[in-house]
Amino acid sequence: MKTGSLDVARLVIARDLRLAFRKPSQLLQPLMFFMIVATLFPLTLTPEMSRLRDAAPGVLWVGALLSSLLALEFLFREDAQDGTLEQFALSGQSLTWMLFAKTCVHWLLTGLPLALSAPVAAVGLGVPAEAMWSVVASVALGGFALSLIGAISAGLTLGARRGGVLLSLLTLPLAVPILVFGADATHRAITGGDIGPPMQLLGAIAVLGVTLAPLAASAAVRIGLE
């Protein structure tokens, strides 16, 4: 008797969460990087609140993007090195589905904490308190789309010996739409505008990512395992 798809996803999620919490430093690194980048800007740019506020969407989004790239490298690499990713591919279960589960855990462990810590960084950039919920929501949604797109690049760079830089070069151009709409949502939140339209576009990118990215990632991983 074969294990059902939902149980497979449950097992993958439980395994990845357990592994992550046995190595908490790896979880904290991107978060610390993000906080430090966001603090460097007020120190170097200007102490003037109104000008910092103008720069805030850019700083928050570029910071979040770069720090999630740091974490992206670990999405499949360790599993590929110790041979467990091969087991995924040979289990007789859908590799696409398992990689989707892995990507969701990745977002849960990096994208979501980044979104939740965004207000701390945003305070230093003069973002008003009433805009915080919108900032969190936009970074969380954009981060999810980013994890999905990143999964494709992470799969494609599996075969490369030092894939870190290549991973960034592949992901960053694809991440431009997320960056544009995400920064727009944050900008509107700060200036008291309607964040609906950019959030809907981010949502559309995320839906597109859910439907296509796991398929592309599994094809890439199968090539990478050769």
Partner 1 sequence: MLNVSGLHLWRGDRHVLRGVSFAATAGQCVLLTGKNGAGKTTLLRAIAGLLEPEEGEVSWRGTPARKSRDEFHADMAYLGHEPPLKGDLSGRENLRFSTGIRRPVTAAEIDAALARTGASAFADRSVRMLSAGQKRRVALAGVLLSGAVLWLLDEPTTNLDADGQQLVARLIEEQLGRAGIVVAAVHHSMNLAAGEVVPLELAA
Q: How many CA atoms lie within 13 A of 108 on its CB side?
A: 13
| CA triple 136-42-143, angle to 5 deg | 25
How many Å apart are CA 26 and CA 215, to the nearest integer?
27
What are 101's two structure tokens? Answer: 């589960």
Which residue among 6, 48, 86, 200 contacts partner 1 (CB under 8 A)?
A: 86
Q: How many residues does the chain have?
A: 226
* 160 makes contact with partner 1 (CB under 8 A): no
How many Å apart are CA 66 and CA 167, to the nearest integer?
12
* 225 makes contact with partner 1 (CB under 8 A): yes
Residues within window 97-126 making contact with partner 1, judged by CB under 8 A: 98
Nearer to partner 1, 80 or 114 (CB): 80
Q: Smallest gap, in angstroms, from Cβ of residue 73 to partner 1?
A: 18
Which residue among 28, 48, 51, 91 contacts partner 1 (CB under 8 A)?
A: 91
Nearer to partner 1, 73 or 78 (CB): 78
Which residue among 24, 47, 92, 173 contacts partner 1 (CB under 8 A)?
A: 92
How many Å apart are CA 93 and CA 197, to the nearest integer?
38
Residue 63 φ/ψ region, left for φ over 0, alpha for ψ in the -120 to 50 degree band, beta for the rest: alpha
Please tell me the count of residues contacting partner 1 according to CB under 8 A. 27
Which residue among 1, 25, 161, 162 contacts partner 1 (CB under 8 A)?
A: 1
DSSP string for 20-57: HHHSHHHHHHHHHHHHHHHHHHHHHS-S-HHHHHHHHH
What are 207's two structure tokens? Answer: 């839906």
* 173 makes contact with partner 1 (CB under 8 A): no
Residues within window 6-35 making contact with partner 1, judged by CB under 8 A: 7-8, 11-12, 15, 18-19, 22-23
Which residue among 68, 93, 134, 218 contacts partner 1 (CB under 8 A)?
A: 93
Binding site for partner 1 (CB under 8 A): 1-3, 7-8, 11-12, 15, 18-19, 22-23, 82-84, 86-94, 98, 225-226
